[in-house]
Structure 1
Amino acid sequence: MADASSIPRDVQARIDEARAMMTEEIFEGMLAKAGTDPADLAALLDVLAIGITNGAWRNSCVENWHAEGRLSDGDMMRVNSHTTHGVRQRLRGWTKEFGISTSTGEGLEELTVDDADALGYRLFRWLTNPSRKLPTGPTLGELARTEAELDEYVEHADQSLRGFVGQMEDKGVRFGLLYTAGHGALACQQWWGHPTWSARVDRFVTVLDNPEDDHWGPDAKRRERLLPEPSGLQDRSALRATLLKAPWELDSATAEWITDAGIGYLVLPTDAPHTS
């Protein structure tokens, strides 16, 4: 199971500092530095979905299943991005239901503890549904294999989402949303939906045709170790569009090749555009 040791030390230090301070202003500053306007509802929901997915899905026994080989690296990219998408859809539906169009204090002040509970339950029910179809083919129940393993995941998701809702109950809905969004923005910068994802995709597509790029290491050794490009990489424009919009729609061979090529380890320019 993944833990705080998998998060870069500088990122964890910033998260810990923010937790100690525990103010909305601190989280607003963190989000702004990560390229997310905390008053922009759509932008906030993007990184909030990442934070929820990372906590309630990825950092669970799913990581053990990954280590055991039930999910490859390419599978993880597809499943994590698809799960983030599903969480984001439910967040958007929740805010739309209450007529919320901004994530400022005024925009969220009408929400109550019961409203936060309803959101948590909605996310829990979807995430833990054993019939939830994963983009890799099997359902959640089939991936878990046994009732005991499914129960282990259900218990983790329950605890994680209770913590998410608990932040909103203890310190207000906006505080809880900012708290988890801050985690998504800082700890998961290589994820689909992050403000820098488009810059990551653009850089990846560029290095594909540049064996001299530093990403491939000395004498392009990293590139040489890869298998021949699968057919899904041939049309660079279509590849870019899929990575930006729905990476879970990649075929398994293409997704595996992309993760082997190190899309998650690309060094982005310091002036990378913060757009999704």
Structure 2
Amino acid sequence: MSDDPAVEVASPAGPRHRPTRDRENAGTGVRHARTGTPVPRLEREIDMTMLNPQLVRECADAVAAVLPVPGVAGEHLLKMLADFGGVDTLDSDQVLTAAAAGMWAQWVRNTDIWENAHAGGRLSDGEMFRTNAASVLAIREALAGGSTWEHALDLVTSSDRVLPDGRPLRKMLPSAHKSGRVHDYATTAARRWDNRISDSGLNPLAAYLAVGAAGAPFTSDWHGMPKWEPRVRQFVAALIEPEHPHWGGTLAARLNAFPGELVIPSLEATLLENPAQLSADVASWCVSTCALGYLAVTPG
């Protein structure tokens, strides 16, 4: 697994290094990754109920200054959240969900071990769908309850964690060693962010914006993200439209493949509330048989 570029700060000379305090200035103690100049301290503590454009922009600019990606500015992070994720950065619920989704996507879902388990058949598309939903909800709830990022990732990558299909994580992955690697990678990445927040003086909102923006290209249509509800609404509407272009004339066959009796209002409610509560067969029907994720969603 490669290091997550949003976790450590790269020096202008190339090698990665941890942020250090600059005791001779009143800034955050973090040096700009490219210029070496101190990053100004944000004077206000985070209050997710009092977001305003100035605070959000200050936070985005502050964290962009220490990311090891050349040319990234705060406005780019905010644009990624808005354009990819549909996130309103003045909505604290959306920011928190985007951050939770970004953590899970970058530090677990998109790792080589997790993806190999998926590709190798140990985690079907339906189970990936349910597991993503359950994991993001768990991380979000932990963060909302005051947990550190490390603790939130520890909860969802513990080898004893029970997945929606009833298996403990260690049974899904091919060995305890690989299970441990996923846990160590995720919690180490999260701990680095925890340390950066506490040691550097960065407003915690800055870190939420950064990790949410980094994950947005992968998580924009996940459960809980702003684009999820329109997808679900249009999907269930299409289930009674045989001529909908998504089906290509195959709706009847797909409906016949539904495991049990299809009650559309119940399916819609579960998809919106928590897809992890779907049965394994219904989840597979949604994402594999009906290609829920490939539905072309009409804006508005």
Same fold per superposition (TM over 0.5):
yes
Greater Cα offset, 189-198 or 169-178? 169-178
Q: In the alignment, does 2:288 pair up with 1:238?
A: no
Match of 1:178 among 209, 217, 240: 209
Contact 1:164 1:180 in 2 (8 A): no
Q: 1:246 to 1:137 in 2, by over 3 A?
A: same
Query: Percent of aligned pairs with the same residue?
Result: 30
Contact 2:77 2:209 in 1 (8 A): yes
Residues in 1 aligned to 2:217 and 2:103: alpha-carbon distance in whole angstroms = 13
Q: Which letter maps to 2:226?
A: P
Q: Which letter maps to 2:244?
A: D
Larger radius of gyration: 2
Give the structure with the larger helix fraction. Answer: 1
Q: Which runs of 5+ in 1 are unaligned?
A: 5-15, 95-117, 272-276
1:185 match: secondary structure? helix
Residues in 2 aligned to 1:54 and 1:167: alpha-carbon distance in whole angstroms = 20
Q: In the alignment, does 2:86 pair up with 1:35?
A: yes
The corresponding residue for 1:201 is 232
The corresponding residue for 1:267 is 296
Post-superposition offset of 1:80: 0.8
Q: 1:136 to 1:59 in 2, by over 3 A?
A: same
Q: 1:188 to 1:124 in 2, by over 3 A?
A: closer
Contact 1:24 1:178 in 2 (8 A): no
Contact 1:226 1:257 in 2 (8 A): no
Residues in 1 aligned to 2:116 and 2:188: alpha-carbon distance in whole angstroms = 18
The corresponding residue for 1:47 is 98
Q: In the alignment, does 2:76 pair up with 1:26?
A: yes
Post-superposition offset of 1:43: 1.4
* TM-score, normalised relative to structure 2: 0.69
* TM-score, normalised relative to structure 1: 0.75
Q: Which runs of 5+ in 2 are unaligned?
A: 5-63
Residues in 1 aligned to 2:273 and 2:105: alpha-carbon distance in whole angstroms = 19
| Greater relative contact order (CA < 8 Å, ≥ 6 in sequence) | 1
Q: C-alpha offsets along residues 69-126 of structure 1, whole Å, 9 cap, x if unaligned?
A: 11111011001100011011011112xxxxxxxxxxxxxxxxxxxxxxx713212321
Residues in 1 aligned to 2:209 and 2:255: alpha-carbon distance in whole angstroms = 40
Match of 1:67 among 97, 104, 119: 119
